[in-house]
Amino acid sequence: MMKRALLFLWLAAPAYGFSLPDSVSQATFVYGTLEPSEKLYYRGQQVPVAKNGTFLLAVSRDTQELTLTLKDGWFSKKTLTVPVQQRVWPVDRIEGMASEKVTPPAALKKRLRREQKLLDAARAQRPLKEGVFPFCFVKPVEETRISAPFGAQRMINGVAQRPHSGLDMAAPEGTPVKATADGVVILSEEDMFYTGGTVLIEHGSGVQSGYSHLSRRTVQTGETVKAGDVIGAVGSTGRSTGPHLHFTLAWNNIRIDPQSILSARCP
């Protein structure tokens, strides 16, 4: 715990001077520091930097090697590579789900396209200024158990689906759901086909959290929230087989394993 507390104190203090972890794990946020004159690029995008020189990026579930470009001034440019620790992802088998939830009928295509457009438009929003992002995250719900881990290969009724993009936190229906960090609500929808009651929050610089299958929502699009504010309640709406929160964390649409950051203790 002392090491984690010291880490967050270091991130909160002026931190100029280039630093980068020696290695990183798949599906995690990565923090480091830059000199004021330096700029860092990842996947063709400039990496956001806080006032104290700390930068943030994310490593995806399937990244094999982290490759970055560091620029200092007009002429200095170098490529940096960081080893990525590979993880073994489990297989999650779900049986007994209604067939129309596994393979939606053609009549639902229009609805699904509309909902995907809503999600894409929300995720593209950046209501907070660049260089603002969280270091600390609180648990969105005091779960009784993890019912499905992040990254598992989903098999629903024997049909292969996309890998699980979030963390399923089982809890009784109606359990309060909290915002994991300060931010702005960029989407609040009552009934989406896959995710049911859904809230998305932007925390700055492309860091976003998602809360799905909610039985109710207590925030609307455009509202400002603080870490720990109640934004809804656990439910089983959308494509769900029981009460739980499907919780996601991402940077620029790169999903990470929420357990990797929720385990850290803030000072």
105-134 per-position pLDDT tens digit:
888 889 999 999 999 999 999 999 888 999
Ordered by start, the domain boundaries in the chain are: 2-85, 107-262
pLDDT of 12 = 47
The residue among 66 and 98 whose pLDDT is bigger is 66
Torsion angle, alpha carbons of 122, 128, 133, 139, to 10 = -60
pLDDT of 187 = 98
Q: Which residues of 41-65 are buried (b: 16+ CB within 10 A; e: fewer)?
A: bbeeeebbbbeebbbbbbbbbebee
For the ranges 1-5, 15-19, 63-67, the one whose mean pLDDT is highest? 63-67
Helices (H), the chain: 2-12, 99-102, 109-123, 259-262
Domain spanning 107-262: which CATH class is it, in words?
mainly beta
SS3 265: coil
| pTM listed for this prediction | 0.88
Q: In residues, how long is the chain?
A: 267
Query: With 80 as the cut, is the pLDDT of residue 101 above it?
Result: no
Q: How confident is the model at residue 5 (pLDDT cuts 50, 70, 90)?
A: very low
Query: With 70 as the cut, is the pLDDT of residue 266 above it?
Result: no
Count other C-beta atoms under 10 Å from residue 81's C-beta: 9
Nearest of 94, 133, 193 to residue 12 by alpha carbon? 133
CATH architecture of structural domain 2-85: Sandwich (2.60)
Query: With 70 as the cut, is the pLDDT of residue 167 above it?
Result: yes
Count other C-beta atoms under 10 Å from residue 96's C-beta: 7
Beta bridge partners of 57: 30
Average pLDDT, the chain: 88
Beta bridge partners of 207: 204, 251
Q: How confident is the model at residue 6 (pLDDT cuts 50, 70, 90)?
A: very low
Query: With 90 as the cut, is the pLDDT of residue 163 above it?
Result: no
**Chain centroid to CA 155:** 22
pLDDT of 265 = 63
Return d(Cα 218, Cα 261) in angstroms, integer.
Answer: 25
Burial of 232 (0-12, 13-18, 19+ CB in 10 A): buried
